[in-house]
Amino acid sequence: MHPYMTQALALAHQSLTLSAPNPHVGCVIADADGQLLGQGHTQRAGAAHAEIMALRDAQEQGHSVQGATAYVTLEPCSHQGRTGPCCDALITAGIMKVVASIADPNPRVAGQGFARLRAAGIAVEVGQGAHASRELNIGFFSRMIRQRPWVRLKVAASLDGKTALNNGASQWITGEAARADGHAWRARACAVLTGIGTVLHDNPQLDVRLLATERQPHLVVLDSTLRTPLDAKLFQPNRRLLVYTASGDEAKIAALQKRDAQVISVPDGHGKVDLTALLCDLAQHEINDLHVEAGQKLNGALIRANLVDEFIVYLAPKLIGQGADMACFGPLTALSEAPALEFKNIEQFGADLRIVARVSGRDAF
């Protein structure tokens, strides 16, 4: 892989907590002699994309990009969205070659950006860094192709898999370093999902506090009968709150709406929230990556419905014995029924281990 594509991927990573719901993209522009002319990454939604940032960077440094090569980690967009088409900006600037990692899965682009570049006489090469770019944007690819977010379920547990004592005490099973890393996963998500049980028991904020971020993820609460307290800490200024319910209680709905919550009814016919319908609706709200921090019941329901794509599990070097489990589902009648997972990464944070495990084959879309 060309060093400038490696650099572009590093730039894309810098937009991880910034650019949602847009994909995380980096761009490097270099002349025929390999001199760096400009670079940049996608900004907040509605602001400049990576290619525009790189062109601006070159201009600010007094560099002409006529005849230059642009290394970009995703196909330049070809449609008018919150911003104009990046492929047109590259054409106008005089770029002569585009090296891109992968095609944009957005149906409004999907090869059209490459086609317009080639029609303008620009050489296009595709493939360098494709896997890395797709992994960085797996939530965006999921929303565009599967029409649902990529679901990550985060759990902090003892070595014997307990998330709390029998009396409910859970602060803190893991240490400060693991908690900070957990906030980093929150920060990269478009939304954080929890259940009403966690809201009532813990009254959490579920925001990003342990590291600096320019964007807080949206909040999603699964509350079948609308028991969310109107003074819950989840109600935060300038932060979107979506409450999914099976209830049609107009008084409760109105009370939540007065607190600026959006109440969405997706009943499953049995008094519960339809989890598949919830995910499909979140995709309509431009949620790419959904980060789940919930109790054993909601965790179990999501696993039972085969809706979890990836697990972020922090294991503390302690034993609890009797206590709350990571997830409540089953019982299984055969080991072959157990969800098959693949370890993607194992890393130590302080005294704790973080395991990233993905459902086998789930990313084959």
3-class DSSP assignment, residue 325: strand
Cβ atoms of residues 200 and 229 within 8 Å: yes
Parallel/antiparallel/unpaired status of strands 162-165 and 323-325: antiparallel
Confirm whether 51 is a catalytic residue: yes
| Distance in angstroms (rounded) separating the CA atoms of residues 239 and 242 | 10
- The one catalytic residue in 51, 75, 293, 310 is 51
Q: Would you put residue 252 in left (φ > 0), alpha (ψ -120 to 50) or beta?
A: alpha
3-class DSSP assignment, residue 326: coil
Dihedral sign for Cα atoms in the order 318, 321, 324, 325? positive
The separation between CA 353 and the C-alpha centre of its own chain, rounded to angstroms, equals 22
Q: What angle do CA 325, 282, 292 make, to 5 degrees?
A: 20
Cβ atoms of residues 77 and 87 within 8 Å: yes
- Of 354, 358, 12, nearest in space to 185 by CA: 354
- Phi/psi for 12 (5° steps) reads -60, -40
Q: Which residues contact 291 (CB under 8 A, 6 or more apart)?
A: 152, 154, 185, 186, 188, 189, 191, 192, 193, 217
Residues noted as catalytic: 51
